[in-house]
Amino acid sequence: MSFDSPDFWLSLGKIIWINILLSGDNAVVIALACRSLPAKTRFWGIVLGAGVAILLRVLFTGLVTTLLDVPFLKIAGSLALVWIAVDLVIPHKDDRESGVEAAENLWRAVRVIAIADLVMSLDNVIAIAGAAKGSWLLIGIGLATSVPLIIAGAALITKLFDRFPILISAGAALLGWVAGEMFVTDPAMVSYLGEKLAHSMEYPAAAAGAAIVLGIGWFLSSLAKRRKRRTEGGTRATAKSKVKTH
């Protein structure tokens, strides 16, 4: 396809629209992973996370036809995504005051983003490759336009998380929703259930994935809060005993 071809511009419009629709989940992952970083480190977390997302899309472009037919790959990916979503929704120790620990948190965030994008980028690449109709120029433009969308989306969502913490749970539920869809659309599941039944189970499986993430996240967060209360109670008791001794 050439620049003066109507098909080129029609395909380009499709790719940009696909990017707008499908970059949101990547932005949510980046925002969740970077939300507890200090402001300066958060910027680099978003930029590096977006870079990882685009790099993985480039790598997947050459493998997409092979990866589509690998049984159990989506199942493994969906389980990994559930684990990532739960890990992101559980409150972690806030280490903003220490530069060394903040840097460690930055690389932890980038690692989490890399694993999540490894799981989630496949569908994005499939959609872009399909709309590009074999044109590497269009694929390249599509990947390039993903960068500002993901960075801008992650920055906006991170600010929303700061202002409305309840949205953190909504973001984790979205990842669980994607995991549920991936699980039931794996070639092995489609072969076992039959294409018609597997397709009819996409929404129930997605809802179950979101519920599982929120349920496990709530349970683990409750345990963490109880441990924190016990630790604080023990610290106060020790301090009182020292005061009485003196």
Residue 35, token pair as written in the block:
């939300």
- Mean pLDDT value of segment 94-100: 44
> How large is the average pLDDT for residues 92-97?
48
Residue 2 has pLDDT above 80, yes or no: no
Residue with the two structure tokens 């294409």: 195
Please give the pLDDT value at position 133.
66
Q: In whole angstroms, give the CA distance from residue 59 to residue 225.
A: 41
**Cα separation, 46 vs 28, whole angstroms:** 11
pLDDT at position 210: 92
Report whether 61 contacts 129 (CB < 8 A): yes
3-state secondary structure 151-180: HHHHHHHHHHHHHCCHHHHHHHHHHHHHHH
**CA angle, residues 141, 62, 16, in degrees to nearest 5:** 25
Residue among 174, 113, 124 at smallest CA distance from 16: 124
Please determine, for residue 246, whether its predicted confidence score (pLDDT) is greater than 80: no
Ramachandran bin of 168, using left for φ above 0, alpha for ψ from -120 to 50, beta for the remaining angles: alpha
Q: Which residue has the higher pLDDT, 244 or 225?
A: 225
pLDDT at 229: 79
Check if the beta carbon of residue 172 is closer than 8 Å to that of residue 33: no
137/145 Cα distance (integer angstroms): 12
The answer to whether 182 and 207 are in contact (CB under 8 A) is no
- Give tens-digit pLDDT for 101-130: 445 577 878 888 877 777 776 666 666 666
